[in-house]
Amino acid sequence: MYVDPTEGLVLRTNPVSGSSATDIGYVDFKRDSNGKSGLNLEFMVQPNVANNGATINASSAKGIIRAGANGRMINGVLQLRGTKDTANTILGVTPSGNSIAGDTGLAFRLNGEFTSDRDNLSGVEATSLELGGAGNQTYGVRFSNITPLLTRKNITGSETTSNVALNSDHAGLSMDGIYFNLVNANQITLPTNTALTSTYLGNSVDANRLVNTNDYIQTLSTNNTPYTVLAIRGMNFSALSRRGQFIYTDANGVVSPVSTTTKWGLGLPIYNLNANFAFSPRSSNGTASGDYLVAYNNGVIKKTAVSGSERIGFSGSISTQGVSSDGSKSTSIILIDGGANTNDNNNPTDYYVGLRNIDMLLNGTGSMGFENGRINVSMPKLLMAMSAQLAAGYLPGAKYKTCPTSGGCYAASDSFTKNYDVLAAIKLRLAGQANFSIIPLSLDPLNDYNSDGTPKEGKNALNFIGLFELDKAQNNAIQIVDPIDGSTMGLDNIVGTVAFDNKIVVNSNNVGFNLGFNFNPNKTAAEVFRVRDVNFYPSTKDSNGVVTGVGSAQRLGEMAITGGRLNSEMKITPRDGAFTFN
């Protein structure tokens, strides 16, 4: 630990040079005697504390979510310093041209690398991360053998076994730019992702841009209300878990794996994440400020205005970049086959399936409260935009289980920059007003548990209920794109109101997604869910048959859902070398 005039206050784990996980400085997050994570964060809600004078007690609070980190981490850096936004790049500028971040902000830096099976640590746990229900008698998921996206580097596909090696780099978290400021401004801005602003919903005309630069502006207030702003710039989480485990926290708080022979993994890498989070205390003010509660009323989710309760005014904006130019970094959500590849010294097979190269923008403004023992969120303005690829294949640099008779035996290191594995591209833009509640886990001790104390199937759930009212003035659309020639099927000009009751369920051996949608819940003509234009955008070609772009929309018709419910349930169950989808 030291203080430097430029770097500020710094705490580092690697005061000596070295390359392995044993000859440089490190930090060990050691589990307690019950197996609880060395770094453990549990988010819980206890209602009516202010009203009845009750003290906060974790045993009676209701769980929301738990996140944990364990094991050895290396090359860690914590840095805190002052900052001066001389380039006007952190939060943008005022109308008069002055930096919104100003001269007196705080900058924070957090970097670290994860260890994995490849480090061959003796008597020390390699890094693992956990995510699951908070409190006791809950299931969760443990992510281990955390490695980078690239199985091998600099692979073109033609290499032989003798001249390639597994990627020795460590996966890690890089957050070099975290800024804290007090802001008296009506607007702040987020760095623009040009990959997203140059993506179109259909043919390439300005009116069809998926997002524009104005979508990266956050409106905080109209009267320069003071806000506390947390800004994140250029965050990278270059990590994939090659081995996942379901875990269980029993009634006594003891955490243990449900199975120790699993051969599956999950990849949630993040590339170039930028975010602004602005907070200011205020009271709810009903319809005047768009503050609502949502709840079931006679079997239908409805909203009611709420006034006078303490709330947190907020504005949040998050942007991610899909893929780096060399394909070594990506924002993706992928399932991984971690079963042994006998053609690769029994290393993980490294098949994957999921959404990759996700360019995304989320931008919402509103308030958050804790009325009625729930987390209640009201956003009069919400934008969700995304461009991604649905893909399946081998991870970059992986060795094939069966080598082809000609050509190389490896997936190219830059394969995420190519369309070989892409099944379809997905683009969406949805904007409107959203109100929802996050309902804490609350199980009936008489009916919701098995005789051994474990939750019954489907009961260990994180529940979201709410309403989404689409803005008629926005170009709301969901489009599917052919990866070869770019021809596009579009559900365009979507309007209407949808109520939702969605659950994420973690069971002893699977993860379930229970989705429920109620179209036009109030049964009014103005809120009918409509796709005003079902369009087809054919690809255009030159005289030589080379694709040159996408043509104008060819309208096929429209679609309307005047009411009714749509329910869907999907379970992902890992198997030996495969996944089962039900």
- pLDDT tens digit sequence for 302-359: 999 999 999 999 999 999 999 999 999 999 999 999 888 999 988 889 999 999 999 9
Please state the rounded mean pLDDT for residues 405-417.
88
| pLDDT at 96 exceeding the cut of 80 | no
| pLDDT at 503 exceeding the cut of 90 | yes
Please state the rounded mean pLDDT for residues 411-423.
94
Six token digits for residue 68: 């944990």
- pLDDT tens digit sequence for 511-536: 999 999 999 999 999 999 999 999 99
Six token digits for residue 186: 């009506």
Query: Which 3 state secondary structure label does DSSP give 455?
Result: strand
Q: What is the pLDDT of residue 28?
A: 92
Show the CA angle centred on residue 119, arms to residues 113 and 124, nearest 5°: 85
Residue 508 belongs to domain spanning: 2-581
Q: What is the pLDDT of residue 24?
A: 65
**What is residue 415's DSSP assignment?**
G
Closest alpha carbon to 316 in 173, 434, 493, 224: 434
Q: What is the pLDDT of residue 338?
A: 85
- pLDDT tens digit sequence for 530-567: 999 999 999 998 888 888 889 999 999 999 999 999 99
The Cα 97–Cα 85 span in angstroms is 13
Q: What is the pLDDT of residue 411?
A: 92
Q: What is the pLDDT of residue 61?
A: 83
The Cα 125–Cα 263 span in angstroms is 18
Cβ-based neighbour number of residue 79 at 10 Å: 18
Six token digits for residue 483: 């990866």
pLDDT band at 90 (very low <50, low <70, confident <90, very high): confident
Q: What is the pLDDT of residue 21?
A: 53
Six token digits for residue 51: 């009203």
Q: What is the pLDDT of residue 54?
A: 58
Closest alpha carbon to 239 in 104, 122, 157, 129: 129
Please state the rounded mean pLDDT for residues 361-373.
94
The Cα 424–Cα 419 span in angstroms is 9
Six token digits for residue 407: 């050509």
Query: What is the end-to-end Cα distance of the chain in Å, rounded?
Result: 52
Q: Which residues contact 267 (CB under 8 A, 6 or more apart)?
A: 149, 240, 241, 332, 333, 334, 335, 336, 352, 354
| pLDDT at 576 exceeding the cut of 80 | no
Three-class HEC string of 57-86: CCCCCEEEEEEEEEEEEEEEEEEEEEECCC
Residue bearing the bigger pLDDT, 40 or 21: 40
Please state the rounded mean pLDDT for residues 119-127.
91
**Which residue do the tokens 């060395």 mark?**
38
The Cα 485–Cα 29 span in angstroms is 50
The CA-atom distances, in angstroms, between 570 and each of 140, 239, 264, 502 are 18, 26, 18, 12
Percent of the chain at pLDDT above 90? Answer: 68
On whether the CB atoms of residues 547 and 525 are closer than 8 A, the answer is: no
Backbone angles phi, psi at 33, to 5 degrees: -65, -20
Please state the rounded mean pLDDT for residues 79-103.
83
Total structural domains within the chain: 1
The Cα 217–Cα 215 span in angstroms is 5
On whether the CB atoms of residues 306 and 289 are closer than 8 A, the answer is: no
The Cα 433–Cα 471 span in angstroms is 7
| pLDDT at 423 exceeding the cut of 90 | yes
The Cα 242–Cα 465 span in angstroms is 33
| pLDDT at 403 exceeding the cut of 90 | no
Span of 74-83, 257-266, 282-291 with lowest mean pLDDT = 257-266
HSE-up of residue 340 (Cα within 13 Å, Cβ side): 4
Strand 547-550 relative to strand 2-4, pairing: unpaired
Q: What is the helix (H) or strand (E) element at residue 50, kind and residue range?
A: helix 49-52
Cβ-based neighbour number of residue 447 at 10 Å: 8
**What is residue 449's DSSP assignment?**
B
| pLDDT at 165 exceeding the cut of 90 | no
Q: What is the pLDDT of residue 53?
A: 57
Q: What is the pLDDT of residue 46?
A: 82
